[in-house]
Structure 1
Amino acid sequence: MAGLRIAVFASGQGTNFQALADAAQQDRLEGASLELLVCDKPEAPVVERAKRAGVDTFLFRPKEYASREDYEREILAELQKRGIGLVVLAGYMRILTPVMVDAFAGRMINIHPALLPAFPGVGGIKQALDYGVKVTGVTVHFVDGGMDTGPIIAQRTVEVLDGDTEATLALRIHAVEQEVFPWVVQRIASGAVSLDGRHVTVTTL
Structure 2
Amino acid sequence: MKNIVILISGSGSNMAAIVRAAEQGRWGERLNARVAAVISNRADAEGLRFAKDHGIATTVLDHKGFASREAFDQALMAEIDPLSPALVVLAGFMRILTPAFVAHYEGRLLNIHPSLLPAFPGLNTHQRAIDAGCQFAGATVHQVTAELDHGGILAQAVVPVLADDAASTLAARVLSQEHLIYPRAVAQFLAALP
TM-score, normalised by the number of residues in structure 1 = 0.89
Q: Which residue of 2 aligns with 1:195?
A: none
Residue 17 of structure 2 is aligned to residue 16 of structure 1: no
The 8 Å contact of residues 143 and 152 in structure 2, kept in 1 or not, is answered as yes
Separation in structure 2 between the aligned mates of residue 94 and residue 47 of structure 1, nearest angstrom: 17
Shift of 1:31: 3.4
- Structure-2 change in CA distance of 1:175 and 1:98 (3 Å): same
Q: Distance in 2 between matches of 1:94 and 1:138?
A: 19
SS in structure 2 at match of 1:181: helix
Superposed CA deviations along residues 136-160 of structure 1, whole A, max 9, x for unmatched, are 1110100000110111111111111
Letter of the 2:11 counterpart: Q
Matches within 5 A, 1:119-130: 119-130=120-131
Deviates more, 1:72-81 or 1:130-139: 72-81
Displacement of 1:27 in angstroms is: 2.8
Q: Which has the higher helix share?
A: 2
Name 1:80's counterpart in structure 2. Answer: 81
Q: What's the RMSD between the two structures over aligned residues?
A: 1.5
Partner residue, 1:145: 146
- Using the TM superposition, give the Cα deviation of residue 99 of structure 1 relative to its aligned residue in structure 2, in angstroms: 2.5
Matches within 5 A, 1:60-139: 60-139=61-140
8 Å CA contact 1:16–1:90 kept in 2: the answer is yes
5+ unaligned residues in a row in structure 2: which ranges?
Answer: none
CA distance in 2 between partners of 1:125 and 1:32 (Å)? 33
Give the whole-Å Cα distance in 2 for the aligned partners of 1:58 and 1:143: 22
SS of the equivalent of 1:186 reads helix
Amino acid at match of 1:25: E
Provide the rounded CA distance (Å) in 2 between the counterparts of 1:159 and 1:146. 28
Tell me what 1:201 maps to: none
CA distance in 2, matches of 1:4, 1:174: 27
Q: In the TM superposition, what are the counterparts of 1:44-59 in structure 2 within 5 Å?
A: 44-59=45-60
Q: Distance in 2 between matches of 1:28 and 1:181?
A: 16
Measured in 2, the distance between the counterparts of 1:113 and 1:19 equals 16
SS of residue in 2 equivalent to 1:190: helix
Identity %: 38
Preserved CA contact (<8 Å) 1:12 1:91: yes
How many equivalent residue pairs? 191
State which drifts further: 60-69 or 7-16. Answer: 60-69
Q: Is the 8 A contact 2:4 2:33 kept in 1?
A: yes
> What is the aligned partner in structure 2 of residue 186 from structure 1?
187
Q: Which residue of 2 aligns with 1:162?
A: 163
Question: How far apart are 1:100 and its partner, in Å?
Answer: 1.3
Q: Distance in 2 between matches of 1:78 and 1:84?
A: 11
In the alignment, the residues of structure 1 paired with residue 157 and residue 73 of structure 2 have an alpha-carbon distance, to the nearest angstrom, of 31
Aligned counterparts, 1:15-34, within 5 A = 15-29=13-27, 30-34=31-35
Separation in 2, partners of 1:39, 1:71: 12
